[in-house]
Amino acid sequence: MNVQAFSTIRQAEASDARDLAKLIDIAGEGIPAWLWAQKCQAGQTPLEVGAERAQRAEGGFSYRNALVAEKNGEVLGMVLGYPIDAASTGDPSNFPAPIAPFVELEAQSVGTWYINALAVFAGNRESGIGSKLLNAVEVQAAAEGYPVMSIQVYAQNVGAHRLYQRLGYTIAARSEVRLHPCQPYYTGDVLLLLKRLAG
């Protein structure tokens, strides 16, 4: 059966934090868990650190910035997006190496509605949920007066790149990968994709 026909999109809630943390780690190709592991207190897991961050009401990675796809009370996927009105301050080389390319490209995303993460749990992919989530966040951005969407993706993530291209996103810039902690992303580029919304 088509999962899409049975899924709904809703605003995320603080109680979704654990699922949001799992999904942003999927979208981030392991970088989030790598960063969270460095912030663990005694006896704490990286996922617990991520869930705590997702429960915050402020910051980019907050449940307030996420939409989730849900079926029968189960979260299937999520999209995390928000406007970028100003680039992060500071030299990208002062950030942890794995995220430096993203910071570098963020400077070229000012004035856009930025999709920080899009992910669907295994077993629910190839069912249209990702497209449905992207459509929902585009409607949200347009309602807030942002005519351009932006998203970053590893060039090696061919499936995700193909999805974004099919939905009208085109390459605007690229930045070289630096010291990614997980295979197979040790080399290659991070791509910045943009899409101008109709109207």
Domain boundaries in the chain? 3-196
What pLDDT does 88 receive?
Answer: 64
Mean pLDDT score across all residues of the chain:
89
pTM score, whole prediction: 0.89
The answer to whether residue 142 scores a pLDDT higher than 90 is: yes
CA–CA separation, 19 and 25 (whole Å): 10
pLDDT band at 190 (very low <50, low <70, confident <90, very high): very high
Look at residue 19 and tell me whether its pLDDT is greater than 90.
Answer: yes
151: pLDDT strictly greater than 90: yes
Count Cβ atoms within 10 A of the Cβ of residue 96 and give its class: 0-12 exposed, 13-18 middle, 19 or more buried: middle
Q: Specify whether domain 3-196 bears CATH 3.40.630.30.
A: yes
Residue 4 has pLDDT above 50, yes or no: no
